[in-house]
Chain A
Amino acid sequence: EPEVTQTPSHQVTQMGQEVILRCVPISNHLYFYWYRQILGQKVEFLVSFYNNEISEKSEIFDDQFSVERPDGSNFTLKIRSTKLEDSAMYFCASTSRGLGYNEQFFGPGTRLTVL
Chain B
Amino acid sequence: DQQVKQNSPSLSVQEGRISILNCDYTNSMFDYFLWYKKYPAEGPTFLISISSIKDKNEDGRFTVFLNKSAKHLSLHIVPSQPGDSAVYFCAAKGGTSYGKLTFGQGTILTVHP
Which positions in A face B, CB cutoff 8 Å?
Answer: 4, 6, 31, 33, 35, 41-45, 48, 50, 55-56, 58, 91, 93, 95, 97, 100-109
Contacts and interface: CB of A to CB of B under 8 A. Distances in A.
A101 B42 contact: no
B83 interface: no
A44 B89 CA distance: 12
B43 A56 contact: no
**How would you classify the secondary structure of chain A's contact residues: helix, strand, loop or mixed?**
strand
Contacts, number: 60
B99 A103 contact: no
Interface of B: 32, 34, 36, 41-46, 49, 51, 89, 91, 93, 97-106
B104 A42 contact: yes
Contacts of A106: 36, 43-46
A35 B42 CA distance: 14
Given A43-B44, A109-B43, A104 B105 contact: no
B46 A4 contact: no
B98 A95 contact: yes
Contacts of B44: 43, 91, 106
A107 B51 CA distance: 24
A102 B43 contact: no
